Amino acid sequence: MPRVGIGFDTHRFRKGRALVLGGVTIPSPKGLDGHSDADVICHAVMDALLGAVGNGDIGRHFPDTDARWKGACSLDLLQHVVRLLTGDGWGVGNVDVMVLAEMPRLAPHVQAMREHLGRAMAIPVSGVSIKATTMERMGAVGRREGIAVMAVALVAPVTRTRGRRKGKRLTRA
Ligand code: MG
């Protein structure tokens, strides 16, 4: 059976930091604060993927108390999560991402983000949807204090045919 997972993340804006979203560095007077590169899109997608397979969350896999993840490229972390999944016999179907941000304008960067995420997850760009909306100036995001992201991911068991993996058949269906 295919399985779905949900992910959510928020990060505060902070001056002097680069704004990295979906692996794309976007020109902005402020970036997002965080232990890693604070790529809030990648973080929500990772939690959705881990949720789909019931394998904890990114806080467990990449604790912010661990110096290894300081300044980490979140696309690399996403790739790591996908490797965990595929190692357990799962394939990523698609992800749908909803970015809540008052600024900056994301539309010009959406296609590049989809390409980066698709590459990191080894799925076609058509399997990566990124949508953005504002909060109509309501709440913390509306006051431009930070960015929030929701993500949903679908994964499915992969049945490898004989011969592709030294004759090993994975039947997790
Ligand atoms: Mg995060």
Pair of tokens at residue 146: 């930070």
Place of tokens 């402020």: 30
Ligand 1 mean position to 157 CA, how many Å? Answer: 27
Cis-peptide into 104, omega within 30 deg: yes
Give the per-residue pLDDT at 21.
98
pLDDT in tens, the chain (173 residues): 999 999 999 999 999 999 999 999 999 999 999 999 999 999 999 999 999 999 999 999 998 888 888 888 999 999 999 999 999 999 999 999 999 999 999 999 999 999 999 999 999 999 999 999 999 999 999 999 999 999 999 999 998 766 555 544 444 44
Question: By three-state DSSP, how is residue 96 classified?
Answer: strand
Count, residues in the chain: 173
Ligand 1 mean position to 69 CA, how many Å? Answer: 12
Pair of tokens at residue 6: 């949900």
Side-chain half-sphere exposure of 158, counting CA atoms within 13 A: 18
Ligand 1 mean position to 55 CA, how many Å? Answer: 17
Pair of tokens at residue 114: 């989809």
Ligand 1 mean position to 83 CA, how many Å? Answer: 20
**Residue 67 host element (H or E):** none
- Go through the domains of the chain in sequence order and give each one's CATH number: 3-165 (3.30.1330.50)
Ligand 1 mean position to 88 CA, how many Å? Answer: 24
